[in-house]
Amino acid sequence: MKRWFSGLLAAVMVLLLLPASASGEDPKYYVSLDSTATSAEVNKPVSVALFMGQDPGDLAYNTFFFQFSYDAEKLDFANAAIGNSSETPAIINDNSDAGLLTIGGYGEVRSDSSIMLNFTVKAAGEATVKLVKAQMDVRANAAKDAQTASVPADQSGTVTILCGGFPVVLPDCATGAAYVTENGDYTFTADPGYNYDFSATVNNEKVDIINNDDGSYTIENVTGKLVISANSTPTVKTYAVTVEGDGSDDVNAPTSATHGQEYTFTVTQAANYDYAVAVTVNGQPVTCTVSSSGRLYTYTIPAASVTGPVVITVKKAPQSGTTQIVLTGSGTADVWGDVTSYTVKSGEAFTFGISHQEGFDYTITVMAGEKTLTLQRNENASTYTIPGGYIKGGIIMVSITKTAQLAMTVNAAEYVKLINGNAVWLITAVPETKLPATKSLYYGDTAMFWSEKYEAYAWLLVDKGTAAGIAAAAKSAISVKGNSTVSVSYSGDVNGTGHIDINDAQYIYDLYNAKHSALDMEKFLRCDVNGDREVNVEDVRMVVSLLLR
């Protein structure tokens, strides 16, 4: 009896001395993040606090392990402190290349309810600190997997800091960044087919909005919180329609065109006369669809082309065995001999010349009846030729559009060596002036990619030659068009599956060993994980390091 009682007493004492978790009542741990400031200046400190809690009972733990992702391009990690003291965690591992911070500790029981993460702002922009892993536990559970600490539904595991800038509030009809840098200019966009009554305040003081007339708007020198408002319902834009030419009396055309809607006009052709009709929108030639019934011709401008003022030019001439060729447009001043109207024999090719001005491009469009032809410059000459098959009598309108060339810096770097002297070349292009928000660079008819690492538009070519020669050839193929650029992701997920794994390393290996049979532009661009403008074993090592973090 005495031995049984002693054993029972010992068991009871052990249970009393053990924490609740060892007796089957593991506490649940909770964590959340908060910031000491929602914005901070460049080169100034900013702190993020991790708060810890427990249920049931008072907070008590022996082990903790937390991992945070953070924007290493905007933030430098400085140090971490436990509670209100200057004590630092036993484990601190800052992988700044990947933007991953790990802190942890073990030992005697703790009750500190917070850990302060201290950063220094190094660049302007929006920076995010996110808790990606959280574990806490007590000594009695040391033989088990550490418990996961969860974020309560009414709290957050993510903090966003506006570095060197201020928050921006936009109306639903506008699109733009969520922040603006201090003393910076802020540009937002809205559907260019509508009229808006925008207003803006900075720190509740009204400021001016500049309408850039391309669907974008700019507020200059922002010094505080920016609030942009739409004061009325947007209205669809209408554009003036101008009819000119000696056949204008035969035209029936509405006096205005509505943005994004088809525009239709008619021409009633007089007997024994030839007609030529040319249409421009915003000074650029457009192609109409044409139908006829007797002498009534109906012209329709496609809805997508109605984006600005419309000019309809109708030329009228008596029918004969000749064809009248009329040159129009912004480049006519550069035509040889300053002649803009010719009468030529029908059925025979006609050649004319242009004195090409340095720094400008010329687009030559022939409108012969219902046909449209874009002329190419004759080889080794400054002339253009209209084939005889288009010269069938009447009047032919030739539109010469002269546009300033885009000033930009284009470079070529050998991205991957191939066999037979070929290589995959990385083309980077940087406009010398800021492009409108609604525009981007195209290589031929395809949008180039945007690379944050290069701070440039990017493209890949398979070719052989020198860097200077490749760059010069590429520059001639680059132009400005609508904004449909895709940004290159350098997360390490080069094959685009949504996950980083060993196959991403294999994809890079196969690229620099010339094992790929076809060029996959976006995937190949993703392979330059370290951003040194070439693909090699160092990029594989970067992916492996991401796997091991």
Residue finishing a domain among 163, 190, 221:
163
Mean pLDDT of 211-223: 91
Task: Examine the domain organization and report whether 33 and 158 are in the same domain.
Answer: yes
**Is pLDDT at 516 greater than 80 in this prediction?**
no
Asked if 26 contacts 147 with a C-beta cutoff of 8 angstroms, the reply is yes
In a domain, 115, yes or no: yes
CATH code (residue 378) = 2.60.40
* Pairwise CA distance, residues 535 & 541, whole Å: 11
Same domain (yes/no): 335, 398: yes
More confident residue, 486 or 332: 332
What pLDDT, in 10s, does the model give residues 99-130?
999 888 776 788 999 999 999 998 877 889 99
Tell me if 284 is assigned to some domain.
no
The C-alpha atoms of residue 95 and residue 77 are separated, in whole angstroms, by: 10
Single out the residue of 276, 261, 260, 342 nearest to residue 312, CA to CA: 276
- Read off the pTM: 0.54
Residue finishing a domain among 216, 235, 254: 235
pLDDT at 143: 64
Return the pLDDT at 164: 77
Look at 14-28, 178-192, 306-320, 415-429 and tell me which has the smallest mean pLDDT: 14-28
Contact status, residue 49 vs residue 115, Cβ threshold 8 Å: yes
Residue 2 has pLDDT above 70, yes or no: no
Q: Judge if 149 and 211 occupy the same domain.
A: no
Q: What is the pLDDT of residue 385?
A: 97
Task: Please provide the average confidence, as pLDDT, over all residues in the chain.
Answer: 87
Q: Is residue 37 scored above 80 in pLDDT?
A: no
Shared-domain flag, residues 480 and 522: yes
- Which pLDDT score, from 0 to 100, does residue 24 have? 55
% of the chain surpassing 70 pLDDT: 93
Cβ atoms within 10 A of the Cβ of 142, count?
11
The per-residue pLDDT for range 429-470, each reduced to its tens digit, is 999 877 877 788 999 889 999 998 998 999 999 999 999 999
Tokens of 277: 């009709």
Residue 208 pLDDT > 90, yes or no?
Answer: yes
Q: How many separate domains does the chain show?
A: 4
Task: Identify the domain containing residue 383 by its residue range.
Answer: 320-405
Three-state SS string across 508-528, please? HHHHHCCCCCCCCHHHHHHCC
- pLDDT, residue 14, reads 39
Ramachandran region, residue 102 (left: φ > 0; alpha: ψ -120 to 50; beta: rest):
beta
Q: Which CATH number characterizes residue 84's domain?
A: 2.60.40.680
Q: Tally the residues of the chain.
A: 549
535 domain-assigned:
yes
The answer to whether residues 187 and 78 belong to one domain is no
pLDDT at 353 > cutoff 60: yes
- pLDDT, residue 102, reads 86
Residues 465 and 518 in one domain: yes
pLDDT at 22 > cutoff 70: no
Residues 417 and 491 in one domain: yes
Instruction: List the strands of the sheet with 205-207, edge to edge.
Output: 179-181, 165-169, 226-230, 198-202, 205-207
The answer to whether residue 294 sits within a structural domain is no
Average pLDDT of the residues in 208-226:
91
Q: How confident is the model at residue 23 (pLDDT cuts 50, 70, 90)?
A: very low
Residues 412 and 509 in one domain: yes
Beta-bridge partner residues of 1 = none
**What pLDDT, on the 0 to 100 scale, is given for residue 4?**
36
pLDDT of residue 454: 93
Q: In the predicted model, is pLDDT for residue 17 greater than 50?
A: no
How far apart, in whole angstroms, are the C-alpha atoms of residue 258 and residue 261? 6
For 154-193, how does the pLDDT look when each residue is reduced to its tens digit (9 = 90+)? 999 999 888 877 888 999 999 988 778 788 889 999 998 9
Q: What is the Cα–Cα distance from 118 to 49, expressed in whole angstroms?
A: 9
Last residue of a domain, one of 143, 163, 183: 163
Least confident of 72-81, 496-505, 536-545: 496-505
For the stretch 359-417, pLDDT in tens is 888 999 998 877 889 999 998 889 999 999 999 888 999 999 988 777 899 999 999 98
Which of 263-267, 287-291, 403-407 has the lowest average pLDDT? 403-407
Residues 38 and 76 in one domain: yes
Domain check: are 528 and 413 in the same one?
yes
Per-residue confidence (pLDDT) for residue 314, from 0 to 100:
94
- Which is it for the CA torsion 395, 397, 398, 402, positive or negative? positive
